[in-house]
Amino acid sequence: MNLNILCLYPNIMDLYGDNGNIEILKYRCNKRNIEVNIDTYTINQEEPQFSKYDLIFLGGGSDKEQRVVAKDILKYKKQIENSIKKGTFYLLICGGFQLFGKYYKDSEGNILEGLGIFNYYTESSLNKQKRCIGNIIIESKINEETLKIVGFENHGGQTFDVETPFGKVIYGNGNKFEDQNEGIMIKNVIGTYLHGPLLSKNPELTDYIIKYCLERKYNKSIFLKELDDTFENQAKKEILNRLLTKANV
Amino acid sequence: MVFFNILIIIYTKTLIFILKLLGKKAGTYPGRIALKLNKNIRDFIKIKGNIIVVTGTNGKTTTTNMIYSILEKSGYKVVSNKEGNNIGWGITTTLIKNCSITGKIKCDYLVLETDEHWVPIIYSRPNMKIDTLIILNFFRDQLDRAGEIETLVLKLEKFIEKHKCKLILNGDDPNVVRIGLKNLKKNNFYYGMSKLDSSYEISHDKMEGIFCPKCKIKLRYNYYQYSHIGSFKCPKCGYGNNKLTTKLTKIENNQFIVNKETYETNNANLYNIYNLLSIITLSKIYNLDKNIVNEVFKTFKVNNGRHQIFKINNNECILNLGKNPTGVNVVLRSIKHTNENKELLIVLNDYVNDGKDISWIWDIDLKNMDEFKRVICTGTRAFDLAIAIKCFGYDTDNIIVEENIEKAIDIMMKTKNKKYLISNYSPLIRTKEYLEKLERGSK
């Protein structure tokens, strides 16, 4: 079996170690003898065939970098929309999440048109110091199971009007300051502010994504061999213990 | 008001004295108290002497200490915050410690290491006019506390536009070169390196500042020295094509050639030699004796955990600071490919002064770690480290996780392998002090 992954703008949109997500996917696949092919696309390269991929990844960048990418990615709106309809999985972190909404207003007041795949929009405070920063815990329903997901958020943008959030905030901010909701999720798209990288301490989520991609591709149910997740579970426990005792939840 | 300020100074000086008696470092606390009593207390200080400021992400403390040594050996009276207390509180402490009760500092040079974000805050005041500002580099560091590099560069550009001074700039760092565009051209002094045997053409680090600040198009690199440091040029406007005042042409073992003169160092790591180039540039501006400069390069030692060597039970242990991907990569690159049995210990904490976000560890080049017999992860985020090392392909059986730093070091000491330790900011002193204790005990 194999998995084809496309990383969008990895040389530009790679703040906060988000490309680590790809390393984690690769690691968990390789341990199960699933071959992973990784292609990259960035500005001035030949148009990628979005529908060819099982998984497409887009991370975040600074305002300046986001401007450059926003201009380029709009060219592919149709192709991206089509591939989502066909079931390709999209993992979008931070700036990537924002670009899939209607628009993004940056901290200088410039408005960047988004892909408009979803109805949410994002606005930054003009005060650059006003950011949602810190460890975050959310609760998300993955495979009918409610899971705690941990990460680190760091965003100036406040995202409004998300219809189907990725999770409920247990500790931290979420889409806006002191919000109840975090990110967006439909069956084959997760958009989120969680860095860490996201998949590093949430192996169940990683496996959900792998399983989804394989089942879609091979059109049969897939059983993923269990891996030794001692480090992952300990790291997660460390954060949960620290924050949940603090918040007295 | 004058009387009140005098009282604050006397009070703060007394506080420093008492804290020192109690064996405390008194690096930031007294200044913090003074600022609480009068937030503009620094305005009361009058400085006679040239202010030299060292800023940038990596290398500030070492560079500041070397400049201090060189100036002192040259016979000047120098005041400096050598311990690296480089934000408002620490700098206020240094100023008050060294001024008279009426707030006067009489020296030839005031050499101040200053956090990048604090430069505009501290030196916009008329009594703190910078004579020369050295900018070493801008890397990703403690992002959640510091904000993005772009924000920082914009802040410094704005500052320089208003407060022009002599600038010593790393000409091989596109983020740093930008700052010079806002200054008087004749006051910019760039340093850099020509192509070396170790230079490479395709980057293998995470990149910052890859776009031309004027044309917004991608910069083209002829070669890289490390990270995003190298020879670059904007294909459209030529940005980056600066004339280097100080140009290194060759490194051989511990010797290197700059503008046809030979220098020697006891730490020939590339990032360290870049720091030395900034100092050579400074020495030319202030007419300092080359022999004194070279002597300091050859013999300089800081016992502050930057490339500090310990002998414990006949085993060599080398401790380095690594608080961002570039810092850790440079250290790793310098200890890899050595033909010896060795192991590695990494300390990772996530306290406020480390930056609470530790996801930068995924930007470290953690591939090909097999030559280490064991990798020991410690600190408050030891498990996060272990996950990253595992996912980049290192054998899980050889990863040891022990969150307690002293216990982790004890585990490390059980073998005869050579030991390398890398610590991020907040646990560095604790790690160093424990190694010093072991060193004393093993004699």
Q: How far is CA B156 from CA B89, B123, B138, B149, B185, in A?
A: 20, 11, 12, 11, 16
Amino acid B352: pLDDT: 81
- CB within 8 Å: B149 and A228: no
3-state secondary structure of B400: strand
pLDDT at residue A73 tops 70:
yes
| Out of A17, A68, A133, closest to residue B144 by CB | A133
Contact between residue B202 and residue A11 where contact means Cβ atoms under 8 Å apart: no
Please report, for residues A108, A166, B55, B308, B427, the alpha-carbon distance to residue B423 in angstroms, rounded to integers and kept in the order given: 37, 35, 21, 12, 6
Question: How much is the pTM?
Answer: 0.81
Distance set, CA B65 to CA A196, B71, B106, B147, B394 (Å): 35, 10, 20, 27, 38
Partner-chain contact B356 A135, CB within 8 Å: yes
What DSSP designation does B69 have?
H
Tell me the chain A residues in contact with residue B362 when contact means C-beta distances shorter than 8 Å.
17-20, 23, 197, 200
**3-class secondary-structure state, position A189:** strand
SS (H, E, C) B157-201: HHHHHHCCCEEEEECCCHHHHHHHCCCCHHHEEEEEECCCCCCEC
Q: Identify the pLDDT of residue A246.
A: 63
| Interface touch B150/A154, C-beta < 8 Å | no
Amino acid at position B19, single letter:
L
Q: What would the mean pLDDT of A25-46 be, rounded to a whole number?
A: 96
Residue type at A112 in one-letter notation: L
Mean pLDDT by 10 residues, chain B (443 residues): 93 94 89 95 96 95 96 97 90 96 97 96 96 93 58 93 97 94 96 93 66 85 91 92 93 94 91 96 97 96 83 92 90 85 96 87 93 97 98 97 98 95 93 95 78
* pLDDT of A199 over the 70 cut: yes
CB contact under 8 A, B150 and A64: yes
Chain A neighbors of B358, CB-CB under 8 A: 152
Cα(B103)–Cα(A115) distance, rounded to whole angstroms? 59
* Chain B residue with the nearest C-alpha to that of A154: B144
- Shortest distance between the Cα of A51 and any Cα of chain B, in A, equals 28
**What pLDDT digit, counting tens, does each position of A95-136 carry?**
999 999 999 998 888 999 999 999 999 999 888 778 899 999
Check if the beta carbon of residue A91 is closer than 8 Å to that of residue A21.
yes
- Dist CA B216 CA B219 (whole Å): 9
8-state DSSP, A195: B
Count of residues in chain B: 443
Annotated domain spans of chain A: 2-247
| CB < 8 Å to A65, chain B | 211
Spell out the CATH class of B2-16+26-299: alpha beta
| Percent above pLDDT 90 for chain A | 83
Contact B115, B355 (CB under 8 A): no
| Sign of the alpha-carbon torsion through A179, A177, A141, A86 | positive
Cα distance between residue A30 and residue A22, in whole Å: 12
User: Is A195 a known active-site residue?
Assistant: yes
Q: Residue B144 has what pLDDT? A: 45
Question: The sheet that has A121-124: what strands, in order across it?
Answer: A111-113, A103-105, A121-124, A157-160
Q: Are A136 and A151 in contact (CB under 8 A)?
A: yes
Cβ-proximal residues to B262 (8 Å cutoff; 6+ apart), any chain:
B255, B256
Lowest mean pLDDT among A63-77, A228-242, B92-106, B207-221: B207-221
Strands B372-378 and B399-401, sheet pairing: parallel
Contact A201 B387 (CB under 8 A): yes
Where does residue B314 rank: exposed (0-12), middle (13-18), buried (19+ CB within 10 A)? exposed
Return d(Cα B376, Cα B382) in angstroms, integer: 9
| Residue-level pLDDT at B253 | 85
- Are the Cβ atoms of B356 and A133 closer than 8 angstroms? yes
pLDDT given at position B207: 59
- How far apart CA B379 and CA B382 sit, in angstroms, is 5
Residue to mutate among B391, B394, B403, with most A CBs inside 10 A, is B391
Q: Which of left, alpha, beta for A143 (phi over 0: left; psi -120 to 50: alpha)?
A: left
Instruction: Assign a CATH topology to domain B308-442.
Output: Protein-Tyrosine Phosphatase; Chain A (3.90.190)
State the Cα–Cα distance between residues B443 and B427, nearest whole angstrom.
Answer: 25
Out of A7, A94, A132, A213, pick the active-site residue. A94
Q: B148, B387, B399: which to substitute to probe chain A, counting the most A Cβ within 10 Å?
A: B387
- Terminal C-alpha separation, chain B: 56
Residue B89 sits at φ, ψ, to 5 deg, of -60, -45
> Which amino acid is present at B162?
K
Cβ contacts of B218 on chain A, cutoff 8 Å: 43-44
Query: Which class for B80: exposed (0-12), middle (13-18), buried (19 or more C-beta within 10 A)?
Result: buried
ipTM of the complex: 0.96
pLDDT at site A248: 46
Please tell me which of the candidates A16, A65, A128 has its beta carbon nearest to residue B151: A128
Q: Which of A200, A201, A233 to mutate to test the interface with B (most CBs of B within 10 A)?
A: A200
pLDDT score for B145? 46
Asked whether the beta carbons of residue B392 and residue A23 sit closer than 8 angstroms, the reply is yes
Q: In chain B, which residues touch A (CB < 8 A)?
A: 143-144, 147-151, 206-207, 210-211, 216, 218, 356-363, 380-381, 383-384, 386-388, 390-393, 396, 399, 401
Residue of A117, A122, A120 lying closest to A107 (CA atoms): A122
Beta-carbon contacts of A209 under 8 Å, excluding residues fewer than 6 positions away, are: A25, A55, A89, A91, A190, A199
Compute the nearest-CA separation of A121 from chain B (Å): 22
| CB pair distance less than 8 Å for B149 and A14 | no
Query: What's the CA gap between B3 and A190, in Å, rounded?
Result: 63
* Identical fold between B2-16+26-299 and B308-442: no
Cross-chain residue pair B363–A234, CB shorter than 8 Å: no
Q: Which of A16, A200, A235 sits opposite B143 (nearest CB)?
A: A16
Which residues of chain B make contact with A235, given a CB cutoff of 8 A? 381, 383-384, 386-387
Inter-chain contact B386–A231, Cβ cutoff 8 Å? Answer: yes
Pick the CATH number of A2-247 from 3.40.50.1100, 3.40.50.880, 3.10.20.30, 3.40.640.10: 3.40.50.880
Q: Look up tokens 């110091």; give the residue.
A: A129
Instruction: Please name the residue of chain B whose CA is at the shortest distance from the CA of residue A155.
Output: B144
Distance, in angstroms, between B400 CA and closest chain A CA?
Answer: 10
Name the minimum distance, in Å, from the CA of B66 to any CA of chain A.
33
- Going by the DSSP 8-state scheme, the letter that residue B218 receives in this structure is B
Count of CB atoms situated within 10 Å of the CB of B249: 13
Banded model confidence at residue A247, pLDDT cuts 50, 70, 90: low
Query: Which residues from A are below 8 Å from B when comparing CB atoms?
Result: 11-12, 14-20, 23-24, 26-27, 43-44, 62-65, 68, 128, 133-135, 152, 154, 195-197, 200-201, 228, 231-232, 234-235, 238
Contact at 8 Å (CB) between B179 and B199? Answer: no
Q: What are phi and psi of A50, to 5 degrees?
A: -55, -45
List, in sequence order, every beta strand (DSSP E) within A101-230: 103-105, 111-113, 121-124, 132-142, 145-155, 157-160, 167-171, 181-182, 184-186, 189-192
> Which residue in this structure is represented by tokens 């503008």?
B259
Report how many Cβ contacts below 8 Å link chain A to chain B: 96
Q: How far is B438 from chain A (nearest CA, A)?
A: 29
Of residues A7, A29, A155, A195, which has the active-site annotation? Answer: A195
Is A133–B384 a contact, with Cβ atoms under 8 angstroms apart? no
The answer to whether the beta carbons of residues B374 and B398 sit under 8 Å apart is yes
What residue spans define the domains of chain B? Answer: 2-16+26-299, 308-442
Nearest-angstrom CA–CA distance, A151 and A221: 29
CB contact under 8 A, B359 and A20: yes
Q: Which of A43, A135, A231 sits opposite B387 (nearest CB)?
A: A231
Given this model, what pLDDT does residue B373 score? Answer: 97
Query: Beta strands B46-55 and B132-135: pairing type?
Result: parallel
The stretch A221-229 carries a mean pLDDT of 96
Residue of A236, A149, A206 lying closest to A28 (CA atoms): A206
Identify which of B151, B387, B396 has the shortest CB distance to residue A200.
B387
